[in-house]
C-alpha cells in the first residue's frame, strides 16, 4: 500500500484571504515503511511574508525571492502524489492550501476522500491529551530535538514516524504491537489492547493444610455414609 505523508508552510492561516503556500514536503510510505522517495519544494508566494509567519518557519521573502512559482513544479508534485492516500497533521489546513494553489493554475483539486488527518486520529486514541506534533512525538518517544523551527520536509519526516507508531508500529500484522493495527481511512480505530505491566518474581507460598485443618477434615469425613474412597479396589 502506498501512502504520502506531507506538510506545508504558508504565509498565513487562510488561502481565502490571499495567503499562499511557500513550502511542501512529502514522504512516500510503502506498506507503512519509508521507501526513501521524497518530494520537497519552496515556492515564491508572489506577496510579502508576515513577520508572525516568518517567526514560525523562518522563511523570509528574501530567501524565497529566487524560488520557482507553484506553477513551475505542479506537474512534478502531482506526479509524485499520484492517487495515493495523503496523511497530514491538521490535514484540512494543508489540503486547503494545496487545492487553492491548484485552482490558481487551473488544475483540479485533490479529492478530500484521500485525506487522512493525524490530529483526528490522535483525538480518538488519546482523548483529552495534547495533540500537537511536538506533544505526540513526546508521547511516542520520537526524537524531535533537531526541530528548532517548523519545516515542511522535517515535519513530514517526524509525522511519518508518528503515523507509523499510531497505526501499529513497524510490526504490523505480526500481532506484537501494543497499539492497534492499521485502521482503514474513515473507520473507527480498534480499541488499544492493554499490556500487563511487568511484575516482580515472588516465591510460591506454601499451601499445605495445617494440623487444625486436617483434624476438621477428618471429622467431616467421619460423618459421610460409606464414602467411595473407603471401598477396596
Reply yes or no on whether 207 is catalytic.
Answer: no
Cα three-residue angle 199-201-202, rounded to 5 degrees: 115
Calculate ∠ Cα 214-219-222, nearest 5°: 125
Q: Looking at 19, 89, 131, 150, which residue is catalytic?
A: 150
**Segments making up each domain of the chain, as ranges:** 2-171
Cell of 108: 483540479
The overall average pLDDT reported for the chain is: 85
Angle of CA points 53, 27, 172, to nearest 5°: 125
* Residues of the chain above pLDDT 90, percent: 68
Binding residues: 7, 9, 52, 57, 155
Taking the C-alpha atoms of residue 110 and residue 69, their distance in angstroms, rounded to an integer, is 19
Which three three-digit cell numbers place residue 74?
505542479
Average pLDDT over residues 87-92: 96
**pLDDT, tens digit (0-9, with 9 covering 90-100), for 205-226:** 666 777 887 888 788 777 877 7
Topology (CATH) of 2-171: Nucleotidyltransferase; domain 5 (3.30.420)
Report pLDDT digits (tens) over 7-19: 999 999 999 999 9
Say yes or no to pLDDT of 188 above 80.
no
The per-residue pLDDT for 230 is 59
Q: What is the mean pLDDT of residues 82-106?
A: 97
- Global confidence as pTM: 0.71
Over its C-alpha atoms, the chain yields an Rg (Å, rounded) of 30
Say if residues 11 and 19 touch (Cβ distance below 8 Å).
yes
Binding-site annotation: residue ranges for substrate: 7, 9, 52, 57, 155
The alpha-helical segments, DSSP class H, found in 13-69 are: 51-57, 61-64
Amino acid at each position: 500500500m502506498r501512502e504520502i505523508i506531507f506538510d506545508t508552510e504558508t504565509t498565513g492561516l487562510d488561502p481565502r484571504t490571499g495567503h499562499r503556500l511557500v513550502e511542501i514536503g512529502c514522504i512516500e510510505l510503502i506498506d507503512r515503511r519509508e521507501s526513501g522517495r521524497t518530494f520537497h519544494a519552496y515556492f515564491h508566494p508572489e506577496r510579502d511574508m508576515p513577520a508572525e509567519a516568518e517567526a514560525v518557519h523562518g522563511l523570509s521573502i528574501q530567501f524565497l525571492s529566487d524560488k520557482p512559482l507553484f506553477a513551475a513544479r505542479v506537474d512534478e508534485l502531482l506526479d509524485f502524489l499520484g492517487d495515493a492516500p495523503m496523511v497530514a497533521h491538521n490535514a484540512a489546513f494543508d489540503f486547503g492550501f494545496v487545492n487553492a494553489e491548484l485552482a490558481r493554475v487551473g488544475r483540479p483539486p485533490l479529492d478530500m476522500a484521500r485525506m487522512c488527518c493525524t490530529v483526528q486520529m490522535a483525538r480518538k486514541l488519546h482523548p483529552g491529551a495534547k495533540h500537537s506534533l511536538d506533544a505526540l512525538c513526546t508521547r511516542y518517544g520520537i526524537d524531535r530535538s533537531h526541530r528548532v523551527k517548523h519545516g515542511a520536509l522535517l515535519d513530514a519526516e517526524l509525522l511519518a514516524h508518528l503515523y507509523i507508531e499510531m497505526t501499529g508500529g513497524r510490526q504490523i500484522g505480526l500481532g506484537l504491537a501494543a497499539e492497534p493495527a492499521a485502521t482503514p481511512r474513515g473507520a473507527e480505530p480498534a480499541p488499544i489492547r492493554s499490556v500487563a505491566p511487568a511484575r516482580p518474581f515472588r516465591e510460591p507460598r506454601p499451601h499445605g493444610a495445617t494440623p487444625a485443618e486436617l483434624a476438621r477434615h477428618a471429622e467431616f469425613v467421619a460423618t459421610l455414609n460409606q464414602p467411595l474412597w473407603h471401598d477396596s479396589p
